[in-house]
């Protein structure tokens, strides 16, 4: 079964606003990763947060991890039209397998 | 560094034909993973290979699907006697090590359409 599962959402926001999406998982993890997929393209690794970390920043991205609730959130600040994409969280299990959620579709309106 | 290269980008096959999808990992990467993405879905793990070895094929359908990663050349995902349900995007990822505290590098995928 999938270990990473986003709250299935389609977000539509204005450029400059913040976008927040959530992810929950079922079992213990070593890390949680977030990926972006532009329409018709492959996945791009955005950020990885380890199980012993609570918050991590990378540019306009902020990821939080709550292992007690088995959940993570991805915040994109000051969104841009180029941020329009689907965002997936994923966790590692077994033999380096990534388990992906179904993704959040984010549309940033210029 | 050209990244993970997949070809073809788009592949159309008639039902019953064979589909061959190729993946060249990043230079120096010896671990290759194949994932399948159905429309409006997340990616589902299929198989994990190292050079000349299948490490984990627990996500592969039992019939018609096979994968290899030879000593020389790209990794190949082969689908025999394709059916309409095989229509999907197939992504390959590679990694340098088995240290899972690094993100994976994905290719742009092969979009298979079975008509």
> Which residue does chain A place closest to B6, by CA atoms?
A42
B56 touches chain A (CB under 8 A): yes
Closest CA–CA distance from residue B108 to any residue of chain A (Å): 4
Kindly determine whether residue A30 and residue B100, on different chains, have CB atoms separated by under 8 Å.
yes
Residue B35: CB atoms within 10 Å: 24
pLDDT band of A1, cuts 50, 70, 90: very low
The mean per-residue pLDDT over the stretch B93-112 comes to: 84
Kindly determine whether residue A42 and residue B44, on different chains, have CB atoms separated by under 8 Å.
no
What residues of B are in contact with residue A99 (Cβ under 8 Å)? 45
What distance in Å separates the CA atoms of residue B6 and residue A102, rounded to the nearest whole number?
23
The mean per-residue pLDDT over the stretch A74-91 comes to: 94
Q: What is the pLDDT of residues A6-34, one digit of tens each?
A: 555 788 999 999 999 998 888 788 889 99
Q: What is the pLDDT of residues A30-71, one digit of tens each?
A: 889 999 999 888 899 999 999 999 999 999 999 999 999 999
For CA atoms A94, B38, B41, A64, the dihedral sign is positive
The token duo for A77 is 């600040």
Q: Write down the number of H helices and E strands in chain A.
A: 0, 11
For A95, the closest of B40, B48, B104 (CB atoms) is B48
Phi, psi (degrees; rounded to nearest 5) at B9: -75, -40
pLDDT higher at B111 or B41: B111
Kindly determine whether residue A102 and residue B103, on different chains, have CB atoms separated by under 8 Å.
no
What residues of B are in contact with residue A92 (Cβ under 8 Å)? 100
What angle is formed at CA B13 by the lines to CA B7 and CA B17, rounded to 5 degrees?
A: 110
Nearest alpha carbon to residue B65 among B80, B47, B86: B80
3-state DSSP call for residue A41? coil
Contacts 24+ apart (CB under 8 A), A60-66: A61/A34, A63/A32, A63/A34, A65/A32
In the prediction, which pLDDT does A40 show?
81
């Amino acid at each position: 079964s999938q270990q990473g599962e986003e709250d299935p959402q389609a977000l539509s926001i204005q450029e400059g606003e913040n976008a927040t999406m959530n992810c929950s998982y079922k079992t213990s993890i070593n890390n949680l990763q977030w990926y972006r997929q532009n329409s018709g393209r492959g996945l791009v690794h955005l950020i990885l947060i380890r199980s012993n970390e609570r918050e991590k920043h990378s540019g306009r991205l902020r990821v939080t991890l709550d292992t007690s609730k088995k959940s993570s959130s991805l915040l994109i600040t000051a969104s841009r039209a180029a941020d329009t994409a689907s965002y997936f969280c994923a966790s590692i299990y077994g033999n380096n397998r990534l388990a992906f959620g179904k993704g959040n579709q984010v549309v940033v309106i210029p | 560094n050209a990244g993970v290269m997949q070809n073809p980008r788009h592949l159309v096959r008639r039902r019953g034909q064979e589909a061959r999808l190729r993946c060249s990992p990043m230079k120096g990467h010896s671990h290759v993973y194949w994932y399948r993405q159905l429309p409006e879905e997340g990616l589902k793990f299929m198989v994990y290979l190292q050079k000349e070895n299948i490490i984990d094929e627990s996500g592969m359908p039992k019939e018609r699907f096979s994968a290899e990663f030879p000593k020389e050349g790209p990794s190949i995902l082969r689908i025999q006697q394709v059916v309409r349900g095989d229509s999907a995007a197939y992504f390959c990822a590679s990694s340098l090590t088995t240290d899972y505290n690094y993100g994976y590098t994905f290719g742009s995928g092969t979009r298979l359409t079975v008509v």
